[in-house]
Amino acid sequence: MRAAGDAGRVEQPDDSLTREAQVMLGAFAEHLRLERGLSPHTVRAYIGDLTNLFTHLGRVGEGDPGEVTLADLRTWLANQHAGGADRSTIQRRSAAVRTFFSWARRTDRIGSDPAQALRSPKVDRRLPPTVEVDQARALLDGLVARVAEAGEPGEVAARRRDLAVVEVLYASGIRVSELCGLDLGDIDDQRGLLRVLGKGGKQRTVPLGGPAVRALDAWLGVRAVLALPCAGRSLFVGDRGARIDPRVVRRLVHRALAMVPDAPDLGPHGLRHAMATHLLEGGADLRSVQEILGHSSLATTQLYTHVSGDRLRKAYQQAHPRA
């Protein structure tokens, strides 16, 4: 299974940085990609955050990694906060900095690790709004209706693809990058299973419900109408005939949800949240949901229990005579 989009490209350090910073960031990017197996998207995020740091330090004459102090890092983070960056952004950037300087010290590129005592703000771990079960049902029913209204073969194929994309996202809870990276051989429709390549190159198998399997079968019956040779064995293809792009999927989901009354404006990740929340509300155990979502930490999956708990609390307060 190959990655979607420009998966082979890794963001290179900015030419405005000092030569030492450029060399070290280039080596760090290779470490993240080859030794840790991180996705190109994650590597670009790390390098972007570190480029921001060394650009800031270059303005005050301290642009080389070996010269950075803990006070420099704290000043940089304080400037981030003053500039309006939210806590999640500051936490992500401080994590990138700690990872970079720990690697640089471990590989003897610097004499000491200035980020060892660096602390970042706690992040508000509330989940964004999610779709209700009836809204998810209305979303999918609306896409089924659009398929029935289609006329030309190309229109039929595109609408069957759209329905299959949303069915798979909601049924499996996979990330948009994982969906775009799916190949034809990743489906086991006899058993209703999907083989997914997740973060860090980790592979997992997730279940699909009957509606998602049927939507996939219908899409595969017309895939040849849209697919060009450049699509290879891509499961989903865009209107131009190549492997579908994550941006196309995001627009597709936003557009489909806009047709559902009172539904929040969410993208593919919102369907992932919805799937996990609905599973837990339906009685699924936390470990199973963790495995389906591909979370490395159970603590990440536990966020969804707070959402379910809030809804239970509201139901209790509305129904119990002594609530």
Instruction: With H, G, I as helix, E, B as strand and everything else as coil, classify residue 204.
Output: strand
Q: Which of 31, 56, 195, 269 is catalytic?
A: 269
Specify the DSSP class assigned to residue 35.
I
The reply to whether 59 belongs to the active site is no
Q: Which of 199, 204, 214, 254 is catalytic?
A: 199
The reply to whether 322 belongs to the active site is no
d(CA 58, CA 166): 46
The reply to whether 269 belongs to the active site is yes
One DSSP character per residue, 166-201 reads HHHHHHH---HHHHHT-BGGGEETTTTEEEEE-GGG
Which runs of E-coded beta strand occur in 120-261? 187-188, 193-197, 203-207
Distance of CA 72 to the CA centre of its chain: 31
d(CA 63, CA 57): 5
Distance of CA 321 to the CA centre of its chain: 43
Enter the tokens of residue 203.
């592979």
d(CA 62, CA 114): 13
Instruction: With H, G, I as helix, E, B as strand and everything else as coil, classify residue 70.
Output: helix
Q: Which of 159, 272, 273, 278 is catalytic?
A: 272
Q: Which of 160, 161, 175, 243 is catalytic?
A: 175
What distance separates the 2 farthest-apart alpha carbons in the chain? Answer: 70
Amino acid at 253: V
End-to-end CA distance of the chain: 52
In degrees, rounded to 5, the angle at the alpha carbon of residue 181 between the alpha carbons of residues 141 and 169 is 25
Smallest CA-to-CA distance from 97 within 130, 53, 160 is with 53
Residue 196's φ and ψ, nearest 5 degrees, are -125, 135
The reply to whether 87 belongs to the active site is no
Q: Catalytic site residues?
A: 175, 199, 269, 272, 295, 304
